Chain A
Amino acid sequence: MSWQGRGKAAIVGVGFSPIERHAAQPLGMFADRAIADALEDCGLPAAEIDGLATYPSAPYAGARQREGEDVIGCEYVISNLCPGDVRWYADLNGGMVTAAIAEAAIALISGACRYALVWRAMHHPAGRYGVSRDTSATAMRQADDDSQFSAPWGCTGPVMWHALALRRYIERYHPTREQMATLPLNSRRHAQLNDHAFFRGKPMELNDYLSARMIAEPLSLLDCDVPVQACVAFVMTTAERAKDLKQKPAYLAGFATNASRRPPLLHSALVDHYAAGTETASQLWKATRMSACEMSAAMLYDGFAPSAMYWLECAGFCGPGEAYAFAQDGRIALGGALPVNTFGGSLSQGRLHGMGHAAEAVLQVTGRAGARQVPDANAVCVFAGSPMMRGSGIIITRDP
């Protein structure tokens, strides 16, 4: 079903906080900075904001949920950063930030609000993430959630699910280690052109990838995104109101918030990857009446590098099992047929759970991507989340 709201809502301002590791300042200050930056970007007074949407959840299992420190939900923004009267807000429980962008567009088009802030703030303190469970008798008795089926065997987090899935993929399709290096290297090169990238100024060579220490084979450190503290914020409004603001609007052509039955996380057999991710992509193409071949660039979630490769296949940029071959010969680089993650991806910009991807789509279609600008970029797709967990998608366009 195509979406009736196509081109009726737009992202008009983009703001970034600094992107740091083990930050000394609380997350609230990063949100403050990103939101102020987004408002200044489009020239809108803060008091005009009357809608809010985010996907606020803390980025790792077992994290605390203190507003302003661990997470930035609507309540924090209403209380601290938003002087006007908020008429509509949404703290989403699922669907990643791309779903929050879609919700804000729906609210704007319906008239529930006039100007909306959408943001994603990430807090990664020093230390270990992922479920960390002892196998002592006491700890095992306490493992009463889903982890009771995996934690007692030392299978304790997303990196292992992804490792199990990638092993299966390698057995089927035989990508080489050199081919697996292509996306991380490509992203690191792109990050050298992005001021808002954690790894700017830190280039990577093939040998760095090949010699990186293993985390969970076949995934090495350089297949994992870098946990950062940061916030990225958007100002959104209707296409009509967008005309009066400073920047060129970036229009939302449509979205997919795949709500099909979600496979259990440990069902990491490839059939589930393709079922969920392919459904998300199919919904996005139908909603926008667009196709893969119309995309000027693709921003593909890369919390773990293989996710972006699976998205290439799920979205139909290539066939199943072809992603690693597809990515060769500069095809996913700037100047290639399908530039992927032109901002550095989560691998090299930092873990922003898809918000960095969405921001880059906006900057590309509005011609504001500087040295990494894709010529004549008029449509960019964003897939957030791993296809293994369904994910969600949006398409951002230059024209309404």
Chain B
Amino acid sequence: MQVSGRATLVSWTRVHQPFGAGFDHCLPYFVLLVELVEQPCLYMVSDAADDELDAENLRAGLPMQVAFLPLDEQWTLPQFRPAGARP
């Protein structure tokens, strides 16, 4: 099944404690839980750097849009950002 890449924000947290070696250098960071528009409870996880989002503007139901962001030369991760925001 193809999905559109559109989603809504379910919840979010800003992580301050180092839990994973790959994230220790970028604390704090956001973890986002989104629900794809195609199906209820079809969730995906995303992350964002602290300066990419304003916590004041995050609300359940906020429209989100996928962006494919390269992690390194080999890997690309789907990431969700508020719809309309620049990736």
Contact = CB atoms under 8 A, between A and B. Distances in A.
Contact of A217 (B13, B22, B43): B13
17 contacts: A132-B20, A132-B21, A134-B20, A153-B31, A155-B45, A155-B47, A159-B17, A160-B13, A160-B19, A167-B13, A168-B10, A171-B59, A213-B16, A215-B15, A216-B15, A216-B31, A218-B13
Contacts of B23: 135, 154
Given A134-B21, A216-B31, A219-B13, 12 more contacts: A134-B22, A140-B75, A149-B45, A152-B71, A154-B15, A164-B10, A164-B12, A164-B13, A164-B31, A216-B14, A217-B14, A268-B11
Contacts of A139: 22
Interface string A112-143: 00000000000000001011111111011000
Given A149-B45, A266-B45, A160 B75 contact: no
Contacts of A216: 13-17, 31
A269 interface: yes
Interface string A154-171: 111101100111011001
Interface of A: 128, 130-137, 139-140, 149-157, 159-160, 163-165, 167-168, 171, 213-219, 266-269
A151 B15 contact: no
B53 interface: no
Contacts of A134: 20-22
A219 B12 CA distance: 12
A215 B16 contact: yes
A137 B75 contact: yes
A159 B20 CA distance: 13
B60 A168 contact: yes
B28 to A, nearest CB: 8
Interface of B: 10-23, 28-29, 31, 33, 41, 43-47, 55, 59-60, 71-72, 74-75, 77, 79
B22 A136 contact: yes
A266 B45 CA distance: 9
A128 B18 contact: yes
Nearest to B18: A128
A165 B10 CA distance: 9
Among B12, B17, B19, B46, the most chain A Cβ lie within 10 Å of the Cβ of B19
A138 to B, nearest CB: 10
B20 A171 contact: no
A197 to B, nearest CB: 24
Contact of A154 (B11, B31, B41, B60): B31
A215 B17 contact: yes
